[in-house]
């Protein structure tokens, strides 16, 4: 990590967050805007504490794997005291790359753009 401010926290099950941060680093070298947190390492109260610490240091957006899992629940609790914090659920690599590479703008606009990119990257082909 460099001394750049972490702008986003990725939280999910297992190695979800670390895997996405690794992929962002490999593709564009900008993984230092993210912190990776696994819910496997923390009970619910601790997960909330860890998120609060990242927000206190400048994180603006929490990206989670699921909309109703422990990570999203902890993020929503943190949002009660931090109305500017934005939660993005169902995060994927395309969304995170958009966030890392996109123009620096407010968290709500950055999240909206990342979500649009993430949604548009999900496709299906083949089968009959």
pLDDT tops 70 at residue 8: yes
The single residue listed with the structure tokens 């709500």 is 108
How does pLDDT run across 12-44, given as a tens digit for each residue? Answer: 999 999 999 999 999 999 999 999 999 999 998
Kindly report the pTM of this predicted structure. 0.92
Question: What does the pLDDT look like over 50-89, one tens digit per residue?
Answer: 999 999 999 999 999 999 999 999 999 999 999 999 999 9
In the chain, what are the domain boundaries? 8-120
3-state secondary structure of 35: strand
Closest CA relative to residue 70, chosen from 51, 56, 55: 51
SS3 of 55-75: the string is HHCCCCEEEECCCCCHHHHHH
Q: Two tokens at 112?
A: 């909206």
The pLDDT, as a whole number, for residue 116 is 97
pLDDT of residue 4: 61
Assess whether pLDDT exceeds 70 at residue 1. Answer: no
CATH of domain 8-120: 3.40.50.510
Tell me the C-alpha distance between 51 and 4, whole Å.
18
């Amino acid at each position: 990590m460099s001394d750049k401010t972490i702008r986003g926290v990725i939280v999910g099950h297992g190695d979800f967050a670390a895997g996405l941060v690794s992929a962002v680093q490999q593709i564009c070298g900008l993984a230092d805007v993210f912190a990776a947190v696994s819910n496997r390492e923390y009970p619910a109260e601790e997960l909330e504490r860890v998120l609060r610490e990242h927000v206190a240091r400048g994180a603006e957006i929490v990206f989670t794997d699921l909309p109703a899992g422990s990570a999203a629940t902890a993020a929503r609790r943190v949002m009660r005291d931090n109305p500017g914090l934005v939660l993005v659920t169902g995060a994927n690599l395309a969304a995170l790359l958009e966030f890392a590479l996109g123009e620096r703008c407010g968290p709500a606009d950055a999240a909206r753009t990342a979500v649009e990119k993430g949604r548009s990257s999900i496709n299906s082909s083949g089968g009959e």
